[in-house]
A and B are shown apart, each in its own frame.
Chain A
Amino acid sequence: MTPVYETWETARGAEIIAEHSKMEGATLPILHALQEAFGYVPEEAIPMIATALNLSRAEVYGVFTFYHDFRAKKAGRHVLKLCRAEACQAAGGDALAARAEAKLGIALGNTTADERVTLEPIYCLGLCATAPSAMLDGRLVGRLDEARIDALVSEAQR
Chain B
Amino acid sequence: MSVRLFVPCDAGALAVGADEVAQALHKAALERGAEVEIVRNGSRGLYWLEPLVELETAQGRFGFGPVTADDAPSLLDAIIADKPHKLSLGLTEEIPWLKRQTRLTFARCGIVDPLSLDDYRAHGGYKGLTRALTLTPDAVIAEVTTSGLRGRGGAGFPTGIKWKTVSQTAADRKYVICNADEGDSGTFADRMLMEGDPFVLIEGMTICGIAVGATKGYIYTRSEYPHAIATMAKAIEIAKKAGLLGDKIAGSNYTFDLEVRTGAGAYVCGEETALMESLEGKRGVVRAKPPLPAHHGLFGKPTVVNNLLSFAAIPFILDEGAKAYADFGMGRSRGTMPIQIAGNVKFGGLFETAFGITLGELVDDIGGGTFTGRPVRAVQVGGPLGAYFPRALFDTPFDYEAFAAKDGLIGHGGIVVFDDTVDMSKQARFAMEFCAIESCGKCTPCRIGSTRGAETIDKIRRGERVAENIALVEDLCGTMKLGSLCALGGFTPYPVLSALKHFREDFGPQQPRLQAAE
Smallest beta-carbon distance A142→chain B, Å: 3
How many A-B contacts are there with CB distance less than 8 Å? 164
CA distance A124 to B262 in the complex (A): 15
Contact indicator A130/B187 (Cβ below 8 Å): no
Q: Are B183's CB and A140's CB within 8 A?
A: no
- Mask, A108-133, CB within 8 Å of B = 1, is 00000000000000111111111101
Closest-CB distance, A44 to chain B (whole angstroms): 20
Q: Are the CB atoms of A90 and B416 closer together than 8 Å?
A: yes
Q: Is B302 an interface residue (CB 8 A)?
A: no
Point out residues on B near A: beta carbons under 8 Å. 11-12, 14-16, 47-48, 50, 182-188, 190-191, 222-226, 261-267, 278-285, 299, 340-345, 348-350, 371, 380, 384, 414, 416-419, 422, 427, 430, 434, 437-438, 440, 515-518
Q: A131 touching B343 by the CB < 8 A rule?
A: yes
Chain A contact-residue range equals 35 or more
A-chain residues with CB within 8 Å of residue B185 when the two chains form the complex: 85-88, 123-124, 128
Offer 23 A-B interface pairs, CB within 8 angstroms, sorted by A: A24-B279, A25-B282, A28-B261, A28-B262, A28-B264, A29-B262, A67-B265, A86-B430, A90-B416, A91-B343, A123-B267, A123-B437, A126-B182, A126-B188, A128-B185, A128-B414, A129-B47, A129-B342, A129-B345, A130-B12, A130-B15, A130-B348, A142-B12
Q: Are A70 and B264 in contact (CB under 8 A)?
A: yes
Minimum distance in angstroms from B419 CB to a CB of chain A:
8
- The chain B residue with its CB closest to the CB of A30 is B281
A90 and B343 in contact, given A128-B187, A129-B12 (Cβ under 8 angstroms): yes
* A60–B47 CA distance with the chains assembled, in angstroms: 41
CB distance from A130 to the nearest CB of B (A): 5
Instruction: Report the bound CA distance from A146 to B517 in whole Å.
Output: 12
List the A residue with the shortest CB-CB distance to B285.
A66
Please provide the chain A residues from 57 to 84 with a CB less than 8 Å away from any CB of chain B in the complex.
Answer: 59, 62-63, 66-70
Complex CA–CA separation, A28 to B276 (angstroms): 12
With both chains docked as a complex, state the minimum distance between the C-beta of A10 and any C-beta of chain B, in angstroms.
Answer: 22
The reply to whether B191 and A126 contact each other, CB–CB distance below 8 Å, is yes
Q: Are A145 and B264 in contact (CB under 8 A)?
A: no
Contact for B16 among A67, A130, A138, CB less than 8 A: A130
Does any Cβ of B come within 8 Å of A106's Cβ?
no
Cα–Cα, bound, A24→B300 (Å): 13
Q: Does A16 contact B (CB under 8 A)?
A: no
Contact of B430 with A124 in the complex, beta carbons under 8 Å: no
Residues of A within 8 A of B47 (CB): 129-130
Instruction: Report yes or no: A123 in contact with B11, Cβ–Cβ below 8 A.
Output: no
The closest CB in chain B to the CB of A31 belongs to B264
Interface: A94 (CB within 8 A): yes
Task: Please report the C-alpha to C-alpha distance between residue A131 and residue B345 in the assembled complex, in whole angstroms.
Answer: 10
